[in-house]
């Protein structure tokens, strides 16, 4: 409510509502001031620690794995984990735990039986259509959405199964309708590219990753032609001025959304070693999303998703083209302390966004309080470190023995 509209109310209501508005406004100003002061100070502190060699990345590794272990529900089996400490078992969390432990080479500490039991727990949640479902978070949104829900979770479970060394038991029947020539291109043309391309890109990545998995791990040879049809359509509709899709990139918010959209497609391209068009424009777009603290978002407390969506392509392109190479390296060097800002040293976990609660997903089971560690973003921010190590070989993060596999999705090299 605007303060000017208060004068249309009785006097007692004017006083009460004006007081509430004042408290709310004061609270927001305080929050913005805290962000403006605390985050730059924290970034500066970590930069100093890095410069003086005071950050031990072996300790970062061990504390992160301790956080993962704190989420394990041992009484239910070797692969059962909670999304946050003290929460119920979730399939999502089990997948993130496998990916994290694989990334740090920690799955090797398990016996073959333990890894098989873990895979069996995940496979028990695969439905007849091939999608993985979890009764703990079952709801209508899980069936309908693609940035969260069953298709999104299936992408992550397929990666986890690959890390554990076992294929999905059932065929991914949910992709079978794309086996007809023209179906993929026809479907892409029906999607809402003008109003919500970022969500569309999640849809395409989910199906694209399942097609790549079915081709490479389930001997579905027809998927190759469908993937080529998908790439041809994306090539034709890519914006040559930004290298992205769906957003014109005129404002910082549009540029950020454009890169987040592109990231989901570029993962598919990179995995298949498919030539990517307009690489120089993509690099320009990604660099333009970096803020003054080193993160890649319009807000100073950029999210784990916003950060890796620019870090991943910048790292990969930095190793394949000389275009703006020094600027790209400088950008990635600035990103490292920012990623570390999001590490909770008290428990070893990592946050989605600093100084902000997490409640964007539909199911409250997966919500978290301000600065509370969560499994998915412990994984995503650790993956950012692993990719930064590729581009910064003289950084101490490159001394860790990163184990990045070769399976479709997000975690591959």
Q: Kindly list the distances between the CA atom of residue 284 and the CA atoms of 294, 303, 316, 343, in Å, as whole numbers in the listed order.
A: 16, 20, 14, 28
Q: Measured between alpha carbons, how far is 167 from 123 in angstroms, rounded to an integer?
A: 9
Residues 6+ apart with CB under 8 A from 313: 259, 262, 263, 266, 282, 283, 286
| Residue 170 structure tokens | 């059932």
Q: Measured between alpha carbons, how far is 388 from 338 in angstroms, rounded to an integer?
A: 12
What is the tens place of the pLDDT at every residue in 236-277? 999 999 999 999 989 999 999 999 999 999 999 999 999 999
Note down pLDDT in tens along the chain; length 413 residues: 433 333 344 444 434 444 454 445 444 444 556 666 799 999 999 999 999 999 999 999 999 999 999 999 999 999 999 999 999 999 999 999 999 999 999 999 999 999 999 999 999 999 999 999 999 999 999 999 999 999 999 999 999 999 999 899 999 999 999 999 999 999 999 999 999 999 999 999 999 999 999 999 999 999 999 999 999 999 999 999 999 999 998 999 999 999 999 999 999 999 999 999 999 999 999 999 999 999 999 999 999 999 999 999 999 999 999 999 999 999 999 999 999 999 999 999 999 999 999 999 999 999 999 999 999 999 999 999 999 999 999 999 999 999 999 999 999 99
Q: Which class does domain 58-399 fall in?
A: mainly alpha
Q: Kindly list the distances between the CA atom of residue 392 and the CA atoms of 310, 340, 383, 400, in Å, as whole numbers in the listed order.
A: 15, 15, 14, 12
Residue pair 375/399 in contact (Cβ under 8 Å)? The answer is no
b/e for 135-167, b at 16 or more Cβ within 10 A? ebbeeeebeebbbbbbbbbbbbbbbbbbbbebe
Residue pair 94/80 in contact (Cβ under 8 Å)? The answer is yes
What is the tens place of the pLDDT at every residue in 65-121? 999 999 999 999 999 999 999 999 999 999 999 999 999 999 999 999 999 999 999
Domain edges within the chain:
58-399
pTM of the model: 0.91
Residue pair 163/407 in contact (Cβ under 8 Å)? The answer is yes
Residue pair 384/307 in contact (Cβ under 8 Å)? The answer is yes
Q: Measured between alpha carbons, how far is 283 from 237 in angstroms, rounded to an integer?
A: 18
């Amino acid at each position: 409510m605007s303060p000017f509209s208060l004068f249309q109310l009785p006097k007692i209501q004017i006083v009460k509502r004006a007081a509430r508005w004042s408290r709310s406004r004061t609270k927001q100003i305080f929050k913005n001031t805290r962000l403006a002061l605390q985050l730059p100070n924290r970034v500066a502190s970590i930069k100093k620690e890095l410069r003086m060699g005071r950050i031990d990345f072996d300790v970062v590794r061990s504390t992160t794995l301790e956080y993962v272990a704190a989420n394990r529900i041992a009484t239910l089996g070797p692969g059962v984990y909670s999304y946050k400490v003290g929460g119920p078992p979730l399939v999502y969390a089990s997948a993130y735990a496998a990916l994290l432990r694989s990334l740090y080479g920690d799955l090797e500490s398990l016996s073959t039986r333990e890894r098989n039991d873990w895979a069996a727990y995940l496979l028990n949640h695969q439905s007849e259509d091939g999608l993985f479902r979890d009764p703990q978070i079952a709801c209508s949104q899980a069936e309908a959405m693609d940035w969260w829900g069953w298709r999104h979770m299936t992408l992550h479970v397929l990666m986890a199964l690959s890390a554990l060394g076992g294929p999905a038991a059932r065929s991914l029947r949910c992709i079978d309708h794309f086996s007809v020539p023209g179906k993929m291109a026809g479907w892409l043309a029906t999607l809402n590219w003008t109003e919500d391309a970022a969500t569309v890109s999640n849809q395409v990545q989910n199906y694209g990753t399942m097609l790549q998995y079915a081709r490479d791990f389930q001997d579905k040879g027809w998927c190759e032609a469908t993937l080529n049809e998908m790439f041809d359509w994306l090539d034709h509709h890519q914006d040559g001025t930004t290298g992205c899709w769906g957003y014109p990139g005129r404002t910082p918010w549009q540029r950020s959304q454009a890169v987040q959209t592109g990231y989901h497609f570029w993962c598919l391209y990179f995995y298949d070693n498919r030539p990517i068009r307009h690489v120089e424009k993509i690099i320009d777009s990604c660099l333009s999303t970096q803020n003054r603290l080193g993160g890649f978002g319009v807000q100073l407390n950029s999210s784990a998703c916003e950060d890796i969506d620019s870090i991943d392509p910048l790292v990969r392109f930095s190793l394949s083209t000389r275009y703006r190479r020094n600027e790209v390296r400088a950008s990635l060097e600035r990103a490292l302390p920012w990623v570390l800002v999001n590490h909770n040293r008290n428990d070893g976990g990592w946050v989605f966004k600093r100084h902000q609660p997490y409640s964007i997903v539909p199911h409250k089971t997966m919500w978290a309080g301000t600065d509370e560690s969560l499994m998915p973003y412990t994984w995503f921010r650790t993956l950012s470190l692993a990719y930064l190590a590729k581009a910064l070989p003289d950084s101490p993060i490159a001394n860790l023995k990163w184990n990045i596999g070769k399976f479709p999705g997000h975690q591959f090299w």
